[in-house]
Amino acid sequence: MLMLFIPNIFWAVFRPKEGASGLATETISLVVFERFGQISTTLFSVITQDIHQALSCRIVWFIASLGAMVLYEVSWIRYFRGGKTAKDLYRSLSWIPIPLATLPIVGFLLLSIYEKNAWLLISVVILGIGHIGIHLQHREHLRMA
């Protein structure tokens, strides 16, 4: 959770140079999905029953989840060291499209598999629909601008 929240706190201080005016208006249904997904994903990832499985063969899922979050941090570092423009937020990281939207979703999906937590999985899918959908709208708007 810290890997997710800390860069977003910095982003609140170091927003894109264009501000929010350069971004598309968000579809209300996607915003509802995103907000519900944010709350439920946070809740179900904190309230877990089976987090200590270091010797389990399922540790691969946890390592993959951690890897996705490390790439997420790399994407934020690239943004903060770069021009801090709106286009930098949506720029691909190698073969990963909109990494600041997709990588945390992938990380939490893998975490839900590791934890065998169906509620977390459902929450992450809902979050992904809203979060990635909104970021795709913003990226498309920036391409047209």
The answer to whether residue 4 is domain-embedded is no
For residue 72, count CB atoms less than 10 angstroms from its CB and return exposed for 0-12, middle for 13-18, buried for 19 or more: buried
Both tokens assigned to 70: 């490390």
Please tell me whether the overall predicted TM-score, pTM, comes out greater than 0.75 for this model: yes
* Number of domains within the chain: 1
Going residue by residue through the chain, which has 145 residues, state the pLDDT in tens, using 9 for 90 and above.
Answer: 778 878 878 877 777 766 655 566 788 999 999 999 999 998 888 886 555 555 677 888 989 999 999 999 999 999 888 888 888 888 889 999 999 999 999 999 999 998 889 999 999 999 999 999 999 998 888 887 6
Range of the domain at 122: 28-144
The answer to whether residue 17 is domain-embedded is no
The answer to whether residue 69 is domain-embedded is yes
**Contact partners, residue 76, CB within 8 Å, separation at least 6:** 7, 10, 11, 100
The answer to whether residue 91 is domain-embedded is yes
The answer to whether residue 111 is domain-embedded is yes
d(CA 136, CA 34): 13
Question: What pLDDT score was predicted for residue 65?
Answer: 94
Question: What pLDDT score was predicted for residue 100?
Answer: 93
The answer to whether residue 80 is domain-embedded is yes
The answer to whether residue 56 is domain-embedded is yes
d(CA 61, CA 65): 6
